[in-house]
Amino acid sequence: METDERTTKIRRPRWLADPARRRSVLRIAGLFVGLALFAVAIYFAMREREEFAKALEALRDPPPAAVALVLCSILVGALLTSLLFHILMRRFARIPFWEMAAIIAASTVANYLPLKPGFVGRVAYHRVRHGIRATHTLRTILEAIALSGTVASLFLLSLFALRTLAQHGFTLGGHPLEGEWALLAPSVLGLGVFVPRLRTLAQALLVRQGELALWTLRYWAVFRLVGAPIELETAIVLGSVSVIATLVPGISNGLGVREIVIGILAPWISQDSVSTPQAVVAELVHRAAELVVMVPAGLASIYALFRHNTRLALARAATDERADG
């Protein structure tokens, strides 16, 4: 008795078969995971009501110098990010620095939205406006991510090495080794500027080093805003770990991850008495400061880019019309 052998295919869901749909689903999932982690951090912070109230009370009369340092460091950090991509992208096209700064500010604001449209918009803008392939734009973004991880890791490893040496009695010119020297560690790799093939990445690394050093100063200042001063060595750890947390794939800007990590890590490593509510509130203040600086800058940048490209399009149309006439 003959039987027909039929191969049965297991149909995958449509979102798995379509790469674009799959990425969208994963980004939405990442958004919900981030929101869930964010809610968990707030919940644990509010469980200690007295400490939570203490942190909020400190915000009523914050040190003006600390406020200025936080806001200015975010703005200067955005400019350094623009300089970083200006360096990396010049291998593929000449982009004016002001335009790169506007693109970075605009995409930063857009990336606060679900599905991170700023990333897609950036790739499309460079393709249409500057003729840069999407693969080249993606390459620079991956390089920037790798540089962030490299600098943050060097900060942490060198800080650990300096603390270990200090515990064993090593000194520098008779003075104890300070952990703040860790901020200079990535400069060793910056010597690659003297090697032609490594010059671009080395220059970008030095810029990223300056940007991540600003993250350290920002955490040092933001904890003062909530009445929980921390030493600079602790700020180096928090800044470096926070930068690494923002690199978690699928979760925009480390939403929820940063709050959880800072809330757990700050009370554990700080030599001063920092509570979990104070640490979580400090990170919330940090995020609020980012929005205060970057949202107006991003919206103004979107408008400036629109006006600039409109003028270019009109000028190009007028040139084509004269040529046809």
206-212, long-range: CB within 8 Å, 24+ apart, which pairs?
A: 207/80, 207/83, 207/84, 207/87, 208/80, 208/84, 208/144, 208/147, 208/148, 208/151, 209/151, 209/183, 210/80, 211/77, 211/80, 211/81, 211/84, 212/148, 212/151, 212/152, 212/155, 212/239, 212/240, 212/243
222-225, long-range: CB within 8 Å, 24+ apart, which pairs?
A: 222/66, 222/70, 222/282, 222/283, 222/285, 222/286, 222/289, 223/266, 223/274, 223/278, 223/279, 223/282, 224/62, 224/63, 224/66, 225/58, 225/59, 225/62, 225/63, 225/66, 225/67, 225/70, 225/282, 225/285
Please tell me what DSSP assigns to residue 284.
H
The token duo for 273 is 């008495």
Confidence of residue 68 (pLDDT cuts 50, 70, 90): very high
> CA dihedral in degrees (53, 37, 292, 111; nearest 10)?
180
The average confidence (pLDDT) of the chain is 85
| pLDDT surpassing 60 at residue 1 | no
pLDDT at 13: 61
Answer whether 282's CB lies under 8 Å from 266's CB: yes
| pLDDT surpassing 90 at residue 316 | no
| pLDDT surpassing 50 at residue 62 | yes
Extents of the domains making up the chain:
21-309
Confidence of residue 324 (pLDDT cuts 50, 70, 90): low
Q: What is the pLDDT of residues 296-308, one digit of tens each?
A: 999 999 999 999 8
User: Could you give the CA distance from residue 40 to residue 192 in angstroms, rounded to a whole number?
Assistant: 43
Average pLDDT of the residues in 304-313? 89
pLDDT at 114: 64
Please state, for a pLDDT cut of 70, what percent of the chain lies above it.
87
Q: CB within 8 A of 262, min separation 6: which ones?
A: 238, 241, 242, 279, 280, 282, 283
pLDDT at 28: 76
Confidence of residue 148 (pLDDT cuts 50, 70, 90): very high
Please tell me what DSSP assigns to residue 13.
P
User: Could you give the CA distance from residue 102 to residue 302 in angstroms, rounded to a whole number?
Assistant: 7
Amino acid residing at 324? D
Q: What is the pLDDT of residues 4-13, one digit of tens each?
A: 544 445 555 6
> Structure pTM?
0.85
| pLDDT surpassing 80 at residue 69 | yes
Confidence of residue 17 (pLDDT cuts 50, 70, 90): low
Please tell me what DSSP assigns to residue 195.
S
Q: What is the pLDDT of residues 77-106, one digit of tens each?
A: 999 999 999 999 999 999 999 999 999 999
Q: Residue 140, SS3?
A: helix
Q: What is the pLDDT of residues 279-290, one digit of tens each?
A: 999 999 999 999
Q: What is the pLDDT of residues 181-195, one digit of tens each?
A: 889 989 999 889 999
In the chain, which residue ranges form alpha helices assigned H by DSSP?
14-17, 19-47, 49-58, 64-89, 97-110, 117-130, 134-167, 199-225, 232-246, 257-269, 276-324
pLDDT at 22: 65
Q: What is the pLDDT of residues 222-276, one digit of tens each?
A: 999 988 899 999 999 999 999 998 887 777 777 888 989 998 898 888 877 788 8
pLDDT at 289: 93
pLDDT at 10: 53
> Which of 32-41, 112-121, 207-216 shows the lowest mean pLDDT across its residues?
112-121
